[in-house]
Structure 1
Amino acid sequence: MTSPSASLPISAFLDEAVRIVGQDAVLTTEGDRAYYGNDLFFWDERVDPLAVVRPTTREQVPAIVRAAVSHDVAIYVRGGGMSYTNGYGPALTRSIILDLGGLNRIIEVDPLNRFIALEAGCTWAQVVQALAPHNMVVDFAPPLSGSHSTVGGALAQNVPGGMQGVLGLELVRANGDVVRTGSWAARINGKPFTRNYGPDLTGLFLGDNGTFGIKLAAGLHLKHRAKAQVYASFAFETYEAMAATMIDLSPYDFITRRTGLDPYESQSIAKVSMKDAVAAAAKIAGQERGLTAGLRAMADMAAGGLDFMAGVKWSLHLKVESHSERAAEDGIAIVKTIAAKRGREFPAILPRAREAIGFSIRKFLGKDGERWIATSSMWPLGRAVEVAKATEAFFVTHKAAMDRHKIIHSYVTNFGQHYFLSEPCFYWNDKLSDLHLRALSAEEAARFKSLSGAAETRAMVRTLRDKLRDLFFDMGAVHIQIGGFYDFTKAIEPTTLRLLEDIKGTLDPTSHLSPGKLGGLKSKKVQNHEL
């Protein structure tokens, strides 16, 4: 990313940006540049951008892209800011953050043809709200942080379970061209009702970390909300037992929510109070359709009370959905038979509470404001027990150092039709960033804003996280949210890497879009120039 225009003063670009989006939408103060350029972790290699540009219409974005490239300014794209893998933090000083939060319009909801078209800056909470009158949902589970996370951000980073429900995209290339994919690309009355129209260009831009193109809008597949939901929770003595149970449950697609928690998470799960969790569960119990489901919900709550997680070590929380109560009951019966082989059932208050609470970013801190960071990994289902054992061994090896720095570890575990996800997390005492404080309630922000920094402990967390990532690399893990943390370009076959470099060279030959992301993927032209 160098050209004769690199010698141009940055003021020339900023003047052009102001002309395109207006003075108020170009932020240059030190505080704004630091806030928008940071995610949920500390990154030594991250630098502040020269400016933050916040377009409010899709038409403004191509003009900004052309202006930035012509002035040799790199573009890093931000959605809701909930990355924890350095997904958008600038690696180059001559750069901007392109914040797409202002592109937040629902373009069209078409229940008959089963799609919603919406701008990339829409939050997942907006999606749920737009679909509620139609009793419909999108075809994959949105992220837990959906009150803040945007559709465009999730599509750029990927979510567990895949994104087959993404029917089409509208995006901007580095040359400023606006491109649509799937049936949305049809010249006559194009609508995003199917992804399968010629080569799957939609898939090319999913999980690209913004390195191939900047997402302006998306079309998502819809389905009717299931008529019946039933919940179950199970306790296990070991991670291995829970992982083995996940393998056994994986063939059953009627299980639509699957969350495994370690002892720390199981006991501190109510990061709101237990009273609030039980109240949330009561709300869900009242909504469960059918006498059997409703009676079970109330019985679970009566049995569980405020201590429903007492004595639980590893826990697995499941939701079964179907077109009828009888079918859901049949499904949960299968689940219980399988889970009972290694675990014991206890009141299913937590998955009901999760359903009632909906989206929450409170998970990104410990219950007393501790900093949090995760290291995600995805595996073939058959390796779940092996991964569980290796991860447990890692923490045994590093226990002394963690105890010395009062670092706590935990796990969030999930499984789907074709994957096992293990996401170990670290918690430690440290100062909170402005990103955290602005996202918290006023009460909690006031409570936690005075927490002091802990540079030595933070450095140890970075070291441990890097070692855990490297362990997963050596074992052959794959990842979502690659960003600037996972070494994607070294993890894939050389011939695949060359193909991606060729694609990058076609779409962004001078590597102005998110340079350093997706494992540092560059076009061959830029590599040759650097040599």
Structure 2
Amino acid sequence: MVVNETAAVLEKLSAAIGLEYVLTDESDREFYAMDVYNFRHLPVAVVQPGTVQEIQEIARIATESNLALVPRGGGASYTDAYLPNREDSLLIDTGRLKHIVEINAEDMYVTVEPGVTWAELTDALAEQGLRTPFWGPFSGLKATVGGSTSQNSVSLGSGTYGISADSILSFQIVLANGEILRTGSDAIANGQPFFRWYGPDMTGLFTGDAGALGIKAAITLRLIRRPTRTMACSFGFETFDTMAAGMIAAAREGVASNNFGLDPKLQQGQLGSTSTTDAFNAAWAVYKTARNPFDGAVQLGKMAAAGKRFLTGFDFSAHFGVEGCSRAEVAAKLAVVRKAVSEHGIEIANTIPTVLMAMPFIPLYPILGPRGERWVPMHGILSFSRVPKFHAELRDLYKTFADRMRECKVEKAGMFTTISTNGFLYEPVFYWEDDRTVFHKRYLPQDYLDSLPEYMPNPAGRELVSEMKQKIQEIFSSVGAVHLQVGKSYPYMEHRHPEASRILKNVKHSLDPDGLMNPGGLGL
């Protein structure tokens, strides 16, 4: 855009939402247009609407001026989701849209604006003894409901209730022309947003759309009674294969609400420091939650046979949480998990899941490594039967790159989780010594940054990580993996069946004929 045109657009935006909410300083634009891993283009401005009506007016102004609209949630993406694909863009920061519109305890739904975080929503619902089935990623102190529903998220509640999309009932979507589209039962005359399905699933169309189809102005989610009881258990494993087998066995039972597995690097220092008191508490927890005294004695016997190794000495670990409304219910569920997993591993102290269940939303310190390294994950969701093949090929890839990784000071790790009864999420993670970006310096508290070492720029390490990410993506694609947080990084439109591709492109054109909604999102 030429200078005069830009000035005119900024003047219109300032009149619509207030001058203080139109950010044009280069440092602001750079920060908001950068994610954990990458940067693409500076937008014309960062706009911060405070109402749905202001989103609509921003959309109208952008369409008149042929400016792209790129929505941003909590900012913890690593897949270029909210990074402008071109300079003539407006980046929409949804952080001011924090109104919990309605908690309907009678009809069991809650409607929120997109900037509400999962932690804020969970706290508000807890006051009424309620919760959403999926209730957020571990990054829920920052992650917003709007961001998660645009990208799809997994973590808390995913073992029994699936991903974020599975808890959504309806949306209000601001389209490129500024009009609002409603989905689900909210789309009919005299309707309420209490039910998702009435004919084709319009709500599903906008889950995980990366903001490429429209901007979420309101999200309605299903409610359940807040579980009042939780219990947890942990297991150690000799190999990845036995850990994966144990996690898959537990997933098939469908009773663990939360679960995650750790490789040697990620669990290092967490299990190894277990004390004698922890050992006693773990043993007592096993006995108390057993189905009966005999079963408890059998479990303790297995742990005793493993000796000290039930606390340390395992390369891999998996951690499970169950929830319910009574002690008997959670004890029965935990017994099911233990029976499924004990054939593959040895029970260890459950400190890690117990702490996480007590404090589920953690500060986002891990966007840097424990020694201040740069960090980026990637992931794929696999069918259970294809997990061994993927892992074997990934292991071979790491061997091929081992020398270069040492030279470039790049390390790898892995985290794992199962989703409902039919998906295994495999998350390779990279750490490498490199300088901090504007994003790290502004996103993390200064006192935390001061506690970590800093590094010189490491372009060779960056290049190697990028190369390895591409190779891993090829392996994921070869085994038919799918992805959450598609953003602009995962190959959503590549190798898609022709009819599916054609329909998606037609839907995009119908909703966004000028291609202004987050260009490049989903590969559209």
TM-score when scaled to structure 1? 0.88
Amino acid at match of 1:362: Y
What pairs with 1:260-299 in structure 2 (closer than 5 Å)?
260-268=261-269
Please state how far the C-alpha of 1:23 moved relative to its aligned partner. 0.7
Please state how far the C-alpha of 1:147 moved relative to its aligned partner. 0.5
Amino acid at match of 2:208: G
**Among 331, 354, 357, the residue aligned to 1:355:** 357
Tell whether 2:499 aligns with 1:467.
Answer: no
> Could you say which residue in structure 2 is the equivalent of 1:139?
133
Please state how far the C-alpha of 1:433 moved relative to its aligned partner. 2.4
CA distance in 2, matches of 1:236, 1:11: 62
* 1:491 alignment partner, SS class: coil
What pairs with 1:7-156 in structure 2 (closer than 5 Å)?
9-43=5-39, 46-156=40-150
CA contact (8 A) 1:123 1:146 kept: yes
> Could you say which residue in structure 1 is the equivalent of 2:449?
445
Question: How many pairs were matched up?
Answer: 495
Amino acid at match of 2:412: H
Please state how far the C-alpha of 1:178 moved relative to its aligned partner. 0.9
Question: Which structure 1 segments of 5+ residues have no match?
Answer: 522-531
Tell whether 2:399 aligns with 1:396.
Answer: yes
CA distance in 2, matches of 1:56, 1:321: 37
Tell whether 2:418 aligns with 1:419.
Answer: no
Please state how far the C-alpha of 1:435 moved relative to its aligned partner. 2.6
**Among 344, 363, 371, the residue aligned to 1:342:** 344
Amino acid at match of 1:226: P
Tell whether 2:152 aligns with 1:158.
Answer: yes
CA distance in 2, matches of 1:392, 1:256: 29
CA distance in 2, matches of 1:437, 1:8: 33
CA separation of 1:248/1:191 partners in 2, compared to 1, >3 Å: closer, same or farther?
Answer: same
Tell whether 2:200 aligns with 1:199.
Answer: yes
* 1:232 alignment partner, SS class: strand
* 1:140 alignment partner, SS class: coil
CA distance in 2, matches of 1:128, 1:438: 26
Q: Deviations over 1:365-406 (max 9, x none)?
A: 211221111111011122222222222222122111112112
Amino acid at match of 1:409: K
CA separation of 1:268/1:373 partners in 2, compared to 1, >3 Å: closer, same or farther?
Answer: farther
**Among 303, 312, 315, the residue aligned to 1:313:** 315
CA distance in 2, matches of 1:110, 1:414: 32
Q: Give the stretch that moved more between structures: 465-474 or 5-14.
A: 5-14
> Could you say which residue in structure 1 is the equivalent of 2:383?
380
Please state how far the C-alpha of 1:458 moved relative to its aligned partner. 1.2
CA distance in 1, matches of 2:227, 2:388: 32
Please state how far the C-alpha of 1:144 moved relative to its aligned partner. 1.0
Question: Which structure 2 segments of 5+ residues have no match?
Answer: 155-161, 291-295
CA separation of 1:407/1:268 partners in 2, compared to 1, >3 Å: closer, same or farther?
Answer: farther
**Among 412, 425, 432, the residue aligned to 1:409:** 412
| Runs of 4+ that moved beyond 6 A | 5-8
CA distance in 2, matches of 1:387, 1:315: 19
**Among 181, 184, 205, the residue aligned to 2:183:** 181
* 1:331 alignment partner, SS class: helix
* 2:336 alignment partner, SS class: helix
CA contact (8 A) 1:410 1:425 kept: yes
CA separation of 1:26/1:142 partners in 2, compared to 1, >3 Å: closer, same or farther?
Answer: same
Q: Percent identity?
A: 33
Give the aligned CA root-mean-square deviation in angstroms.
2.8
Q: Deviations over 1:248-302 (max 9, x none)?
A: 22222211111011000011559xx989xx99xx9x9xxx9x9759xx9xx9xxx
Amino acid at match of 2:390: V
> Could you say which residue in structure 2 is the equivalent of 1:524?
none
Please state how far the C-alpha of 1:357 moved relative to its aligned partner. 2.3
CA separation of 1:133/1:396 partners in 2, compared to 1, >3 Å: closer, same or farther?
Answer: same
CA distance in 2, matches of 1:268, 1:437: 27
Please state how far the C-alpha of 1:186 moved relative to its aligned partner. 3.2
**Among 476, 479, 486, the residue aligned to 2:483:** 479
Q: Deviations over 1:23-47 (max 9, x none)?
A: 100111110010000000024xx11
CA contact (8 A) 1:254 1:322 kept: no
Please state how far the C-alpha of 1:407 moved relative to its aligned partner. 1.1
> Could you say which residue in structure 1 is the equivalent of 2:214?
213
Tell whether 2:248 aligns with 1:247.
Answer: yes
Please state how far the C-alpha of 1:450 moved relative to its aligned partner. 4.5
CA distance in 1, matches of 2:62, 2:311: 53
CA contact (8 A) 1:227 1:325 kept: no
Amino acid at match of 2:11: D
* 2:196 alignment partner, SS class: coil
CA distance in 1, matches of 2:401, 2:478: 18
CA contact (8 A) 1:431 1:449 kept: no
CA distance in 2, matches of 1:157, 1:402: 31
> Could you say which residue in structure 1 is the equivalent of 2:498?
494
Amino acid at match of 1:517: G
> Could you say which residue in structure 2 is the equivalent of 1:526?
none
* 2:356 alignment partner, SS class: helix
Q: Deviations over 1:164-193 (max 9, x none)?
A: 2101111101111112111222332x3221
> Could you say which residue in structure 1 is the equivalent of 2:515?
511
CA separation of 1:51/1:108 partners in 2, compared to 1, >3 Å: closer, same or farther?
Answer: same
Please state how far the C-alpha of 1:238 moved relative to its aligned partner. 1.1
Please state how far the C-alpha of 1:7 moved relative to its aligned partner. 10
CA distance in 1, matches of 2:63, 2:382: 38
Q: Give the stretch that moved more between structures: 88-97 or 195-204.
A: 195-204
CA distance in 1, matches of 2:438, 2:137: 22
CA contact (8 A) 2:372 2:452 kept: yes
Q: Deviations over 1:412-461 (max 9, x none)?
A: 11112221110100011112223323333332122348443222211111
CA distance in 1, matches of 2:507, 2:515: 11
